[in-house]
Amino acid sequence: MDFSSLTTFRHTIILVIIVWRFFTRETCFFSFSHFGLVRKEEKEGAIIMNEDFMKEKPILPLLTTMALPMVISMLVNSLYNIIDSLFVAKISEDAMTALSLVYPVQNFINAVAIGFGVGINALISFHLGAKEGEKANIAATHGFFFSILHGVILTIGSIALIPTFLSRFTTDSNVLKSGVEYANIVFVFSIIIMMNLTFEKVFQSVGRMNVSMIGLMLGCIANIILDPLLIFGIGFFPKMGMRGAALATGIGQLLTLIFYLFAYFLHPISVRISRKYLILDKHLDLKLYGIGIPAILNLALPSLLISFLNGLLATYDQCYVVVIGIYYKLQTFLYLPANGIIQGMRPLVGFNYGAGEIKRVKKIYHLTLCMNGVIMLLGMIICFTASPYLIGMFTDNASTISVGSNALRIICCGFLISTVSITASGALEGLSKGGQSLIISLLRYILFIIPLAFVLCKAFGPQCVFHAFWITEILTAAIAALLMKSSLRLPGTQLSLIHI
């Protein structure tokens, strides 16, 4: 870890301490009400708000209201991913290769933040639906504490291990240097990422999707604006190259956290994070991790797949590594908006299941399936017809464009059928059936695709590896449909939240 990373890490720790002090002051949550800034009812020191609209409002407008803010924010996030890569690609193709190699570690950190946030969200939604407000507060408080702990561990571990990790995939000194420069700064903000995702999932659990949307968009837009300024040194900004791209990302995340803090304190919600809820509760902690760990693995498994594909294909030509990196940037334009709909669905499924509304859960799931299907169909058509242009946005290398165009046309054949897997996986997480959701991800990212990719590569060459994607989607979708059907077979029964 270099000096600049140590300084940034120290500042991050100071910020975390300040935030934690705010949350452990018992009076800080209610001071704004003295000025008439919020409307709420109080009962025994708790803020009482009504979330029954999640089981009473008609399903289509309800899901649209919950999902649309997240879809918009995910589209902006997708735009950031693309623009960030475009600016990095302008530095050099080595810089783009470095970004592609660092991506699996970045994705793993995000997976821990989002996956554990899913556990927090599921528990809060379930307890609110069951009218157990005290337990919802305990879940939020414990989740916030553990998220900070995860951030500290991942910051130290990722920065210490990234040079060794990168050296397993390349011996190019320029690629190694660029990758380490980027990672040493961007990973320092892991604690901020963890706190952001905790707030995001808490707001979503009570239906405050607009807050999550604004927070995500604020960070992404700031990142998009700062990227060219810090990478190329426009105006009075220093020219920082890869370090500038990383710092722009970190500043965007910090702005998101600041917004969430203002939103939380200025407009209190029914779920509270407070020292009085930081009590020993092993059963609840097991539930958090029982849901969170499978969700983390669901999101982290792509990192393992990408690392495997990079290792498999790098022995043939470095352009395949670039193509894999470009594809995983492009596919965010489809899967992130679909994930936005799933994020809108998840608290609805959890709340209604907690309230015993099984028929309503089924309707919400099927409507989400149709919405995601439309997104994936459009994506498949665009990628199949415009693949050379899409790949050409990131590189001028004719060989890379040729390989990438062919790969994108093959992979996109599985987009539409993947709707079943991703929607079922999200619904099962909302039902707190983390084990079933994990099975889908294991099949989709490990058990089917890795053996298929290896066999196809060795038997027919690296260009045939990409057929493993659509074959895997068909096989996984069939099993996901069966798992989802069996999970909703018994009406009137509530699930155990620790069922994994």
pLDDT digits (tens, 9 = 90+) for 293-309: 887 887 788 888 988 99
What is the pLDDT at residue 183? 93
Rounded to whole angstroms, how far apart are CA atoms 129 and 271? 13
Quote the DSSP letter at residue 45.
Answer: T
Tell whether the model's pLDDT for residue 118 goes beyond 90: no
Q: Within a 10 A sphere around the Cβ of 230, how many other Cβ atoms? A: 24
Helix, strand, coil percentages in the chain from 3-state DSSP, rounded to 5 = 80, 0, 20
Question: Is the per-residue pLDDT at 377 higher than 90?
Answer: yes
- For the chain, the average pLDDT equals 83
Nearest to 76 by CA among 211, 196, 212, 217: 217
Distance CA 37, CA 22 (A): 19
Check whether 23 has a pLDDT greater than 70: no
Q: What end-to-end distance do the CA atoms of the chain give, in Å?
A: 38
C-alpha closest to that of 330 among 82, 91, 112, 22: 82
Give the CA-trace dihedral at 336, 337, 340, 342, to 10 degrees: -90
Examine the pLDDT at 292 and tell me if it is beyond 50: yes
What is the distance between the alpha carbons of residues 209 and 205, in angstroms, rounded to a whole number?
Answer: 9
Residue appearing with tokens 């200025």: 266
Q: What is the three-class DSSP state of 43?
A: strand
Residue 466 Cα distances to 10, 109, 135, 473, angstroms:
43, 26, 46, 12
Q: Are 34 and 155 in contact (CB under 8 A)?
A: no
Q: How many C-beta atoms surround the C-beta of residue 93 within 10 A?
A: 18
Find all residues with CB under 8 Å of 297, minimum gap 6, and list them. Answer: 111, 115, 438, 441, 442
Higher-confidence residue of 215 and 26: namely 215
49 φ, ψ (degrees, to nearest 5): -130, 160
- How large is the average pLDDT for residues 401-427? 94
Nearest C-alpha neighbor of 25 from the set 343, 273, 362? 273
Q: What length does the chain have?
A: 500
Residue 179, judged by CB atoms within 10 A of its CB (0-12, 13-18, 19+), counts as buried
Alpha carbons 326 and 321: distance in angstroms, whole number = 9
Tell me the C-alpha distance between 409 and 418, whole Å. 15
CA distances from 280 to 54, 139, 141, 253 (A): 31, 11, 11, 31
Neighbours of 358 (CB within 10 A): 16
Helices (H), 267-357: 282-314, 318-330, 332-354
Which pLDDT does position 496 carry in this prediction? 42
Closest among 308, 402, 394 to 99, alpha carbons compared = 394
Contact (Cβ atoms closer than 8 angstroms) between residue 329 and residue 85: yes
Question: Is pLDDT at 424 greater than 90 in this prediction?
Answer: yes
Q: What is the pLDDT of residue 478?
A: 96
Burial degree of 443 (CB within 10 A; 0-12, 13-18, 19+): buried
Residue 467 banded pLDDT, cuts 50, 70, 90? very high
What is the per-residue pLDDT for 51?
Answer: 57
205 vs 49: CA distance, rounded Å: 13
Is 194 buried (19+), middle (13-18) or exposed (0-12) by CB count in 10 A?
buried
The burial class, CB within 10 Å (0-12 / 13-18 / 19+), for 53 is exposed
- Contact residues for 345 (Cβ-Cβ < 8 A; gap 6+): 63, 66, 67, 364, 365, 368, 423, 426, 427, 430
pLDDT tier for residue 500 given thresholds of 50, 70 and 90:
very low
Given a cut of 80, whether residue 123 has pLDDT beyond it is yes
In this prediction, residue 17 carries a pLDDT of: 56
- List the single range of 133-137, 277-281, 339-343, 411-415 with lowest mean pLDDT: 277-281
Q: Report residue 46: phi and psi, to 5°.
A: -105, 150
CA dist., res. 52 & res. 55, Å (int): 6
